[in-house]
Structures are given as C-alpha cells and as structure tokens.
Amino acid sequence: MSYWLCISNEANWHVVKDTNIWGVAERHKNTISKVNAGDTFLMYLKQEKINDEIKESRIAGIFEAVSTVYTDDKKIFQVPIGMGTETFPLRIKIKPVQIFKKPVVFKPLIPKLKFITNKNKWSGHLMGKAMRTIPKDDFELIGSMAGK
C-alpha cells in the first residue's frame, strides 16, 4: 500500500467530497498510474484567498482508492485560472475514511515531515504536482493531528 498527498484547491475539494472522485491532468499520467486500489490519500488544500479570507494550506481528510485509474472527460472539476479547458480526465474512484472536522494546518508540520527535505523551500516538494507519495510515518503523523 502507498500513501499519497493529493494537492487540490477549496473548490475541487468540494467536488472530491461530493463525487468521491479524484482527478488529475493528463500530464500527471505517470504519477496517477502508480495508484492501486487500497492506497490511501491525504487531501492537501493549497493556501488561497477566498473572498477576503486567507485560508492556510491544510490537510482536510483521508480517502482510500477503490479503483485504478480510468479516463473520463466529463467536466466535474473547477479549472484553476490558466489551465484552459482542462477536465482532469485521469480519475480514481475513492471512498472517505475520515473527513476532518477541523483541517490540520500544514505549515507547523513541515519540521517533522520526512518527505520535505528542504524545510526552507518546502513548497518545492509540492509545486507543479497533483499528487505525490509520502512515507507511512508522515501519513501517520498527519493522521494523528486530526481532531486536535
């Protein structure tokens, strides 16, 4: 089993919760094709300004992959500015394991996370990615913070 950090924004987090589908752009085919049913996803939401509020980067929930990757061009995800007509066609069916009542703020975890080797430029470990594997220890650390 692998542990994944899936990188999303607020709008698409709601799509994921409502549809139990995770989708990525075609350029992430090599990454998403490594997912197997039973793998675990942590949903990371990027920092963004919504109305006049800055929402910090955070982990909002845990999901389990219940399918392998498939292709579907139906437009269900909101396309971030600058991504044109992207539909995130490479998709995986997922089921919720735990939706955090209070998301886990990400930045305080950085010093403790093994997958972030450059603590000063930590965003480089996520930038340009839709998802990435993380060590089991990092997954367990983040999961242990849920509800605190």
CATH number, position 57? 3.10.590.10
Residue-wise pLDDT for 36-66, tens only, equals 999 999 999 998 887 888 889 999 999 999 9
Range of the domain at 124: 3-145
Residue-wise pLDDT for 85-143, tens only, equals 789 999 999 999 999 999 999 999 999 999 999 999 998 889 889 999 999 999 999 99
Write the burial class of residue 93 (CB in 10 Å: 0-12 exposed, 13-18 middle, 19+ buried). Answer: middle
Residue 50: the pLDDT is 78
Residue 80: the pLDDT is 74
Are 136 and 130 spatial neighbours (Cβ–Cβ below 8 Å)?
A: no
Amino acid of residue 108: P
Domain count, the chain: 1
Q: If you compute the radius of gyration of the chain from its CA atoms, what whole number of angstroms results?
A: 15
Longest CA span, the chain? 40
Are 86 and 79 spatial neighbours (Cβ–Cβ below 8 Å)?
A: yes
